[in-house]
Each structure stands twice: as structure tokens, then as C-alpha cells.
Amino acid sequence: MTSSQLLLAASIGLCAIIGIWGVADPEGLQAVASSVVNQYFISRGWFVMLSVTIMLLFCLGLTLTKFGDIRLGADTDRPEYSTPTWIAMLFAAGMGVGLLFWAVAEPLTHFHFAKEFLPDPIAAEQALLAANFNWGIHAWAIYGTTALAIAYFSYRRGTPMMVSAPLKNLFPGEAWANIIGWFSDFMAIAAIAIGVAGSVAMGVFQVADGVTVLLGNEETTSWLIGIVFVLMIAAYIPPLLVDLGAGMAKLSNIAMALAILLVVYTIVLGPSEFLMNSIISGIGSYVAVVIPRGLVTFTFFGDEASKWFRDWTLTYMVWWIAWGPFVGVFVARISKGRTIREFVLGVLIGPTLFSTIWFGAFGGIGIFDALNGNGDLLALTQTNVERMTFALLDRLPLSTLTTLATVLAAFLFIVTSVVSAAFVLGTFSTGGDPNPSVKIRVIWGGLLGVLGAAMILSGSMTAVRTLIALGALPFVFITVMLLACLVRALLQDSKKEVSHADR
């Protein structure tokens, strides 16, 4: 059995075991995941935060150096996609349904916690800051570092788009590099599969709850969740039978357009003055502390604050790391022809700016209700977090139309994520084939469905996030390795160019 065949068999086997375990014994899987993740976060949380901060500083530093002029590809290559379409595609792959799900729920959940210790105005400011930080530039620095390493080695050194490729390229023929490289690919596959399956579960929860609202019912039934799940699988299997190309760009653009229309609608028809102030204030607070906040671990604030930090910020950072190899390969594939400077600034700034506007608008309405209204939305965070976005839309005009748009956007974000992930998983598990066979893609699509079912049966978003973190833990170290490989390659190639210039 070749290394690629072993990787394919081992990765499919691992994902199948986790999926079957989760379907047969969701409580047992959740208990094991919680124990491992909690212990890791307590003992190694500092390493996670230090790592993601170094990635951010590295990416920002590249834009200020001569390395920023290097083109990802031949010097004559130019981008395949326009910048708006490119940003829409990477945003749909990297965030998507998560923002729709947590738009109102997360800022209000943070506010509910912070108001126990702080005056309401400061608690509101800190709640919005926490949401912006969790979904902001650090997440995209993780994606950017992984994508840049894969893109640089692929387009400048001709390696396959594999997580192991940088290490094998730098240390050709070394047994230890082959072993670590194989393990890196294996863990990347596990992180991608479990991470995307978690988003499938999140999307199913939200779409089912949206349909419940549209039907005028109070409770979302398990039957409806099952029907939505089956329809989602039916929607993403056909795209796996054709090439990954213009269709993904169109779906991403549609989903992104719906998201933009929703946020504009919310600002215009909501308490506009309050929301615009919320957005501007949120951006200002975030920019002022973005770098030092990345090194804050809440060590001195007691057990409650430490637990909140682990449950939210640390979980998110590991969540983004779980998605790192998937988003990294996908972003690398759509970024050929861009300079490193253009790549880094686009990846870091575009999506981060949209996220801060998003939370400023949707989270702003939630906070407005908590400070000036009857607080119904705040109370709902404790009982039905899946209903939050729809409960907010129900307070504004044309709620049926906007609820339908939200359901459609969530559905499209999930379909684009799963289709992209199945292609990337097929690429990884076949040794770097950029166009894996239909059979392999469909197998991965099916396994993502099984893992998604396991996540759904876990019964809560807390359980889903814990399972995602479990899949990503080993990849924390692999991401740091990719960063080191990229630095080494940039320095090596820089010396070669200087020596050629001397001759």
C-alpha cells in the first residue's frame, strides 16, 4: 500500500469511526471530547494565543517588506477573479453560516455575562469587543498563514497543495520529514472533516429554526431538523459530480449579496443612529486593542472569567485552526497571480471589516433592546440561541422576507462550504490531486454528512464547538510548523535572487 493509499484509508476510517460513534453514543463522544479539550485549554491556552498573535504579526510584517512584492505564481501571472468576487469566495468559505448564526446571540451572551461584573454601558462595549475579536483579524491571520504557505510552495516551488508539501520540499528525502508530513496531512483531514461537519450542524439548526418561524410554530421538531439535513445533503451532492469552478463563485456571490442586503436592511430599518454609532465605536475599540488583546488570557480574573475565555475565545481560535487547512487550500487555489502584499491585506482587512460591521449592526440591535427595551432578546439567549437572529428580524418590517433570505443564505453558505471541503479532502487524501475523482468527492461528501449527523445528535452548539476543538488540537502545532517553513523558504529564495543578481 502506497503512502497516499494509506492516508486515504486511514483518514476515511478515522472520520467514519468518529461519525458512527457520534451517531451511536453522542453523550459518550461529547464526554470524552469535553475532558480532552478542557484539559488542553487549561494547560496550553497560552500557546494557542501566542501562536495566533505571532501569525498576525508575521502577516502584517510581510506587507512592509520586499517579500510583499512576490507574486503567488509566475511574475507574469495575474488574478483569475476580481477582488470583490475573490473576497466573497474566501469569506463564504471561511465564515459563512457562523456569522448568520451568532449575529445577535454572541454579543448578547457576552453582555449577559459581563453585566454581572461591569456597569451596563461598559459591559455592552466589552461584549461587542469580544465578538469582534473572536471573529476578527486573528481568525484571518490563521487562514492567511496557512493559505500563504500552501500557495507559496505550490506556485513558486511547484509542490502539490498539501499541508506536508512545505516540509517535504525543504527537507527532501528525510525520513522524519516524510513521517511528520504524513501525520500533518492526516490531522489536517481530521480537522477539516470535523470542523466542516460542525458547521453543517450549525447550518441545519439555523435553517430548521428559520423554517419553524416561517411556519408560525413555536418549537423546532426533530423531524424538521431531519428533513432539513436530508435536503442539505441532497443539495450538496450534485455539485460534487462536476468540476469546482464558476459555480462556486456564483453561489458565493449570491450568499454574500444576501448577507450584505441583510446588514444594510437592519441598519436602515432598525435604530439607525444607535447602530451606526455602535459600528463606529466597535471598530474603534477593536483597533485600539487588537494586538495586545491577542495576548490576554484572563489568568487573574477568577474561575468564571477563565472559563468564559476558554469557552469562547480559545474555542474560536482553535475552531479557526480546524478550518485552516480547508480554507487555506481553497484560498490558495483562488489566489494565484496576486502579490503577497495584496493577498495578505485582502485576506486580513476585507472580511474583518465586514465582520465588525455585521456585529455592530445585529449585535447593536440586541444591545439596544437590552439597554432600552424589555430585554426579551437578552432572555432568549439563555433558552433558545438558535432563534436569536430570527427573533431580531421579527421586530423589523418585512420579517417573513428577511427570514426567508436568512434561511437561503445559511443554506448556500453550508452548501458552498461542504462542496469546497469535499474537494479539498479529496485532494489531501489522494496525495495532492487537484481534481480528485467523483467517487472520492462523493465519499467525502457522504462522510461529512455522517459527521454532521453526529454533531446534530450531540444536541447543542456547546457540544458541537467542543467536538470541533477536539479535531483541531493537533493542528495547532502543525500551523506553527507551516509558518516556520514559509519563513525558511522566503529567506532561501531571497538569497538565491541576490546571488543571481550578483552574477
- With respect to residue 104, please indicate whether it lies within any of the assigned structural domains: yes
Per-residue model confidence as pLDDT tens for the chain (503 residues): 677 778 778 877 877 787 788 777 777 877 887 788 888 888 888 998 999 999 999 999 999 999 989 998 888 888 887 888 787 777 766 666 677 778 888 999 999 999 988 999 999 999 999 999 999 999 999 999 999 999 999 999 988 888 889 999 999 888 889 889 888 888 888 878 877 777 788 778 878 888 888 887 777 788 888 888 888 888 777 777 766 555 566 776 777 788 888 889 889 988 899 999 999 999 999 999 999 999 998 888 888 888 899 888 988 898 888 778 878 888 888 888 999 999 999 989 888 998 899 999 999 998 998 888 777 888 888 777 777 888 888 888 888 888 888 888 888 777 777 887 888 888 887 777 767 788 888 888 888 888 888 777 766 666 666 777 776 777 788 888 999 999 999 999 887 765 444 44
Flag whether 418 is in a domain. yes
> Could you tell me if residue 10 is inside a domain?
no
Q: Distances from the Cα of 429 to the Cαs of 95, 182, 343, in angstroms?
A: 24, 10, 27
At 98, which CATH number? 1.20.1740
Farthest CA pair distance, the chain: 76
Asked, for residue 188, whether it belongs to a domain, the answer is yes
Count how many domains the chain has.
1
Asked, for residue 489, whether it belongs to a domain, the answer is yes
Distance CA 460, CA 450 (A): 17
Considering the domain boundaries, does residue 260 fall inside one? yes
Residue 359 covered by a domain: yes
Residue 302 domain flag: yes
Contacts for 217 with CB less than 8 Å, ≥ 6 apart: none
DSSP class of residue 311 equals: I
Q: Which domain holds residue 127?
A: 16-493
**What is the phi-psi region of residue 331: left when phi exceeds 0, alpha when psi lies from -120 to 50, beta otherwise?**
alpha
- Closest by CA to 84, choosing from 263, 462, 351, 326, is 351
